[in-house]
Amino acid sequence: MDPSSHPLIASLRTHGPISGEEERVLLASIGPPRYVPIREDIVSEGDSPKESTVLLEGIAARYKHDERGNRRIIALHIPGDFVDLHSFLLPEIDHGIIAMTGCKVAGVPHRSINFLIDNHRGLARLFWLSTLVDASVHRAWLARFGAEAYGRTAGLICEMYLRLKSIGQAEGKSIRLPLTQNDVGDILKLSTVHVNRTIQALRHDGLVAWRGGVITIIDFEKLTAAAGFEARYLYMIEPTNVPDEVAR
Amino acid sequence: MDPSSHPLIASLRTHGPISGEEERVLLASIGPPRYVPIREDIVSEGDSPKESTVLLEGIAARYKHDERGNRRIIALHIPGDFVDLHSFLLPEIDHGIIAMTGCKVAGVPHRSINFLIDNHRGLARLFWLSTLVDASVHRAWLARFGAEAYGRTAGLICEMYLRLKSIGQAEGKSIRLPLTQNDVGDILKLSTVHVNRTIQALRHDGLVAWRGGVITIIDFEKLTAAAGFEARYLYMIEPTNVPDEVAR
DNA sequence: CGGTGATTTGAGTATGCTCAATGGGTGTGG
DNA sequence: CCACACCCATTGAGCATACTCAAATCACCG
């Protein structure tokens, strides 16, 4: 991965190759950056946006509200992710997207996406592929609910560590993931109190340190074992992005 | 929906239009039918298939095994579904697909899919769209875990009723869904015992009847309310498929 | 140095699980 | 035609994971 390139390009490259020409036309389609404050919607439930949004900086989440008004977080997004590429074909978005931290985003008009996929087969495939990987992550999250709190939490940490690492946002064995324990509960379907106790257990067992939004992996081996974690579902093509002790 | 047409065409048409020419070339790409006995894999975890599979008859499920060997069902498929269209772009499939009933399936070679999407823009979009709807259903299932057993079960029933109805497989307010209570537990992450008690509660409250693989909706209003069900995520374009009392 | 939001702790409770046994329906072989 | 086997649904009882409510502590920030 070339850290000098645009986050979207870098992210797409973790899944497949992009030619120089494709990179050029794609970059030309990205609108000006926009800043979204923490806890504000990037896209709201039920919107019919005319552009898709790329996350440039920060952490965003897709969410739905259930009948009781509780928030369920469906997916987490990191810089380079096309957070609502699917809105290009799905007329009305079935969930909201919220900034979990202050976020820098940019739009790509659906008109431009149309042009890109009609004229650049490689991009068309990469866009489709990118939404397929999204779906694969959804499936992994669904499977994760098979485990109890300890394993679910461990799995989430494994995933976010590898994903952030793949875009060059891990520093050694640490990642910055500024989520409150309440946020984590909305992701894992756990109460805040139980998230707290689960993280304490992970700390006590020497798997991770997690303080002030920084997660440090202490024992990746034990962490993946606790989670039953298999990185395959992330469909990353560059094993060099993955630390040696993790590569399978 | 034209009941005389091929299940795949009928199913794709619930999401978007297909021209006669597109229908012709698509049908020409579908291989001969194959029969898969109940509880056998249609596609196995880790396979790298050279074709994608269309379900023609029966119910299939995507599943993963967790570290303890428990099966987690990630998605259910009904006739007309392209159960592993994503394997066209994802090199190795991250989950298995199992026949929950005896199934009739047919393959479409990836080579043919390549040809179709390169030469028929409408089909390319519809294929992409179809995988996007899959992802949308994944998100709905993720959100469903926010509810407890009663609501989760109600939601599953709502979804399967509408989906089966949309392909003409509902008889009035009844659908045939021959899953054991153990299967339902693998879907909803409930023990068999608790599935039994939950279904009894739904019966007792007059929401559904469920006997011998046949689910009859008694009170759809109450059922959707219990589930917090919103049909939007299914992205069906023909509201006429939806019974009046359900249309929103 | 007070205020706000996040983390942490304690205690009682509830949803759902495990284990174990029973009942019902169906298909098959003697 | 009946007996048996098998699979699935059902019931009971005790238990565990995770929840709720409430309060205390901590950390950061103006």
**pLDDT per position as a tens digit, B202-234:** 999 999 999 989 999 999 999 999 999 999 999
Do the chains contact at B89 and A135, CB–CB below 8 Å?
no
Q: Which of A66, A82, A189 to mutate to test the interface with B (most CBs of B within 10 A)?
A: A66
Contacts of A89 in chain B (CB under 8 A): 125, 128-129, 132
Q: Which of B46, B52, B48, B49 is closest to B117 using CA atoms?
A: B52
Q: Which of residues 158-187 of B touch strand D (CB under 7 A)?
A: 180-182
Q: Which residue has the higher pLDDT, A2 or B185?
A: B185
Q: Give strand letter and number of the nucleotide nearest B38 (CA to C1').
A: D7
Mean pLDDT for all residues in chain B: 93
What pLDDT score was predicted for residue A239?
Answer: 55
Å: B225 CA to C7 C1': 36
CA distance B92 to B94: 6
User: How many angstroms separate the CA of residue A84 from the nearest CA in chain B?
Assistant: 11
What pLDDT score was predicted for residue A61?
Answer: 98
Mean pLDDT for all residues in chain A: 93
- Under the banding of pLDDT at 50, 70 and 90, the label for residue B5 is confident
User: How many angstroms separate the CA of residue B103 from the nearest CA in chain A?
Assistant: 23
Residue B150: CB less than 7 A from any atom in strand C: yes
Contacts of B136 in chain A (CB under 8 A): 86, 90, 94
Nucleotides of strand D lying closer than 7 angstroms to a protein CB: 7-13, 17-22, 27-28
Do the chains contact at B135 and A140, CB–CB below 8 Å?
no
Q: Which of B43, B68, B89 to mutate to test the interface with A (most CBs of A within 10 A)?
A: B89
- Under the banding of pLDDT at 50, 70 and 90, the label for residue A4 is low
pLDDT in tens, B77-114: 999 999 999 999 998 999 999 999 999 999 999 999 99
What would the mean pLDDT of A242-247 be, rounded to a whole number? 44
Long-range contacts (CB closer than 8 Å, 24 or more residues apart) made by A42-47? A42/A83, A42/A97, A42/A98, A42/A99, A42/A103, A42/A105, A43/A83, A43/A84, A43/A87, A43/A93, A43/A96, A43/A97, A44/A93, A44/A96, A45/A93, A45/A94, A45/A95, A45/A96, A46/A92, A46/A93, A47/A87, A47/A92, A47/A93
Gyration radius of chain A's alpha carbons: 18
What pLDDT score was predicted for residue B239?
Answer: 54
Give B73's strand partners: B63
Q: Give strand letter and number of the nucleotide nearest B189 (CA to C1').
A: C16
Q: Which of A67, A94, A121 sits opposite B228 (nearest CB)?
A: A67
Q: Which of B121, B128, B139 sits opposite A89 (nearest CB)?
A: B128
Q: Any idea which of A90-94, A208-212, A242-246, B15-19 has the lowest mean pLDDT?
A: A242-246
Q: Is the pLDDT of residue A2 over 80?
A: no
Q: Which residue has the higher pLDDT, B91 or A139?
A: A139
Q: Is the pLDDT of residue A242 over 80?
A: no
The DSSP symbol for A165 reads H
What pLDDT score was predicted for residue A244?
Answer: 43
Å: B12 CA to D22 C1': 54
